[in-house]
Amino acid sequence: MAVTGLPLEGVRVVEMTHMVMGPTCGMILAQLGAEVIKVEPLVGDKTRSLGGMGTSFFPLFNRGKRSVVLDLAKAEDRETMHRLLATADVFLENFRDGQLDKQGLGTEELRRRHPHLIVAGHKGFLSGPYEHRPALDEVVQMMSGLAAMTGTKEKPQRVGSSANDIMGGMFGVISILAALYQKRGGKKEGTDIRIGLFENCLFLVAQHMVEYEMTGNKPRSMPEREHAWPIYDIFDTAGGNRIFIGVVTEGHWQSFCREFGMQEFLDDPALRSTTDRIMARGRIIPRAAEEIRHWDVKELSAKLDALNICFSPINRPEDLFDDPHVLRPGGLVNNVNADGAPFRVPALPIEWNGANLGEGLKVAPLGADTAAVCAELDNQETPTAKAAGRRA
């Protein structure tokens, strides 16, 4: 069932983006109630035809949007684009600097013709020496040190999803919401927003940068790091499955040792503090692994859950379609691809007045809304006119 009364109802967003970062921004805005009109070239967004790991890109990040096809090489379609922008509150783009100028959509032209418009440009870099460069999620993970922290300097490893692209889209949403809030407070002029994929990744590694800044110690990568707790590891279980267990409080340590027959650790005066136990991981971990190896992962999970100890089986993405929490009502939402095929996707990770968002979204076939949107333009009020009507 669709959720009503969403906060961005009445907000119109025109989107000219591709790949992941820009489309993520538009997808979230759509789920928050905005009308998002995706303007595509004649051949469509190039991610419509991706296969392999890119198969999910277009349907996942373009659900809930209208599709309009315009050929911006033609003067009449460029004028249609400007008429559409005149009715919009927000314009999303993720092209290299200067590319939209060739289509009459450069910053100066947009400010001249649409001074009210919030323009959010999703770029590889913020302003500076690298602003001219294109970027990819993998590129900025290597540049920022995230890949070296996830793997090692000798064998860097990117995060196993388009994490930066998705998070960059989220920062786009945050910025746009802030600009809309200013508008609600009476600001008439639009806002120029620039979101940087590299700086987004820099934000992720800031904890390691600040650690070095404060201590002078070079942060160690995740596989090489010094543990902050005595048990924070992956263990083998009976049946060949594996499980992660994190024993992170004094109460957890007491109950874990007691329940799994390691009373000798509780009686050992050399293990009184957490620091003592971290220093003794060399003997604690093999002993814990010996006990855990006797447990079936299902029974072990139930035991750890009852003890309120953090744990997780080592899942793969496909395993989540059998997870009881993912399968709770509203955890997965049912959407429809452009070809009419249904697919399930995790709901937006918030609840709005107790409801999950994203149920029933559809992926528009290429150009499905072109005629309807063009027909609406003659009667569509501009944001300036709407604001005047509200003040009256």
* pLDDT at 387 exceeding the cut of 60: no
Residues 116 and 163 both lie in one domain = yes
Pair (170, 243) in one structural domain = no
Residues 189 and 272 in one domain: no
Q: Is residue 322 part of a domain?
A: no
Q: What is the mean pLDDT of residues 98-111?
A: 91
**Does residue 240 share a domain with residue 194?**
no
Q: Is the pLDDT of residue 152 over 90?
A: no
CATH number of the domain that 189 lies in?
3.40.50.10540
Verify that 17 and 158 share a domain, yes or no.
yes
Domain assignment present for 323: no
Q: What is the DSSP string of 225-293?
A: PPPSSSEEEEEE-BTS-EEEEEE-SHHHHHHHHHHTT-HHHHH-GGGSSHHHHHHTHHHHHHHHHHHHT
Catalytic residues, by residue number, are: 165
Give the mean pLDDT of 338-345.
96
Give how far Cα 106 sits from Cα of 68, 74, 81, 127, 209, Å: 20, 16, 13, 16, 36
Residue 148 has pLDDT above 70, yes or no: yes
Residue 206, token pair as written in the block: 């800031």
Are 17 and 154 found together in one domain?
yes
Q: Do 125 and 254 belong to one domain?
A: no
Task: Indicate whether 380 pLDDT > 70.
Answer: no
Packing angle, helices 21-31 and 163-184, rounded to 10: 50
Looking at residue 153, its pLDDT comes to 84
- How much is the pTM? 0.90
pLDDT band for 319, please (50, 70, 90 cuts).
very high
CB 370 within 8 A of CB 67: yes
The whole-angstrom separation of Cα 243 and Cα 337 is: 35
* Cα separation, 68 vs 144, whole angstroms: 37
Q: Say whether both 30 and 137 belong to one domain.
A: yes
CATH code at 289? 3.30.1540.10
For 43, the domain range is 12-206+362-391
- Kindly state the average pLDDT of the residues 12-40: 97
Same domain, 241 and 200: no
Predicted confidence (pLDDT) at residue 382 exceeds the cutoff of 60? no
Residue 356 lies in a domain: no
Average of pLDDT values for 287-308? 95
Q: Are residues 290 and 368 in the same domain?
A: no
User: According to the model, what pLDDT value does residue 207 have?
Assistant: 94
Residue 349 lies in a domain: no
- Asked if the structure places residue 347 within a domain, the reply is no
Percent of the chain with pLDDT over 70: 96
Q: Are 140 and 49 in contact (CB under 8 A)?
A: no
Mean pLDDT of all residues belonging to the chain: 92
Mean pLDDT, range 110-125, rounded to an integer: 96
pLDDT on residue 14: 98
Residue 389 in this model has a pLDDT that exceeds 70: no
The answer to whether residue 115 is domain-embedded is yes
Nearest to 313 by CA among 322, 348, 229: 322
Q: Is residue 173 part of a domain?
A: yes
Answer yes or no: do 142 and 98 share one domain: yes
Based on the domain organization, do 22 and 163 belong to the same domain? yes
Report if residue 219 sits inside a domain. Answer: no
User: Which run of H or of E encompasses 335?
Assistant: strand 332-336
**What is the domain count for the chain?**
2
pLDDT in tens, 164-205: 999 999 999 999 999 999 999 988 899 999 999 999 999 999
